[in-house]
Amino acid sequence: MAPETDELSADLVETINRRHLIRTPLEPADLLFVFGTRHGVAEFVAAIAELWRGGYFRWALVTGGPTLGDPEDEASVLSRRMVRAGVPREVILLERQATNTGENVTFSLPILEQRIGLANVGSLIAVGKLHTSARYLMTLQRHWPAVRKMLVAVNYHDHPAEAWHEHPQLRADVLREWRKIEPYKAAGFIVDLP
């Protein structure tokens, strides 16, 4: 694959758009599964609040632990801002230890089982960064295949998602994540979507 500084072929851009920067139709779900972040927090919260106002979820699970240089966990930062944006505190569940996408899911499943019961979750909407789109759903598919999955990919760059390859930082982020897919599949961290 081309380094971030090389020209990308139109075929590769199209392949990444189709296979990695996936979009799913949205409809109301039992659960909003928020993958933690330190980047684009305002944009994440705006998207989550809009989904809440639209009646798209009953429960929200926010996952993410502390990151280097900041002892406060991502889940607490996001959930506090979600409450300020109008999402009721009582519908938010927190997972505060995860340090990677696999842990986001595996550490959250016992919390969901204890609080609402996994059998009561037939569908979810995952919320995560645009450049990691496919990997969120592929990780969920690996650890929780039974649930129906949708995705809201948050683009916190001031640049159109479809023109990701024209923005230096977004291009670097997308290509870095794209390159992880095959090694992560080989390692068993993720699986293909049905």
Beta bridge partners, 34, equal 62, 127
Both tokens of residue 94?
Answer: 């927190």
> Range with the lowest mean pLDDT among 5-9, 67-71, 86-90, 92-96?
5-9
Token pair 């002892």: residue? 71
Domains defined along the chain, listed by start: 10-151+160-187 (3.40.50.620)
Instruction: State the DSSP string of 40-70.
Output: SHHHHHHHHHHHHHTT-EEEEEEE---BTTB
From CA 124, how far away is CA 28, in angstroms rounded? 8
Look over the chain and give the mean of its residue pLDDT values, rounded to a whole number: 94
Count Cβ atoms below 10 Å from residue 103 Cβ, excluding itself: 16
pLDDT at 166: 95
pLDDT at 67: 85
On the question of pLDDT at 2 being above 70, the answer is: no
Question: What percentage of the chain reaches a pLDDT higher than 90?
Answer: 92
Question: What percentage of the chain reaches a pLDDT higher than 70?
Answer: 96
Q: What sign results for the dihedral spanned by CA atoms 100, 102, 103, 104?
A: positive
On the question of pLDDT at 3 being above 70, the answer is: no
- By residue count, the chain amounts to 194
From CA 135, how far away is CA 179, in angstroms rounded? 11
pLDDT at 122: 98
pLDDT at 100: 94
From CA 30, how far away is CA 2, in angstroms rounded? 40
Question: Angle at Cα 194 formed by Cα 109 and Cα 98, nearest 5°?
Answer: 25
On whether the CB atoms of residues 78 and 92 are closer than 8 A, the answer is no
Instruction: State the pTM of this model.
Output: 0.93
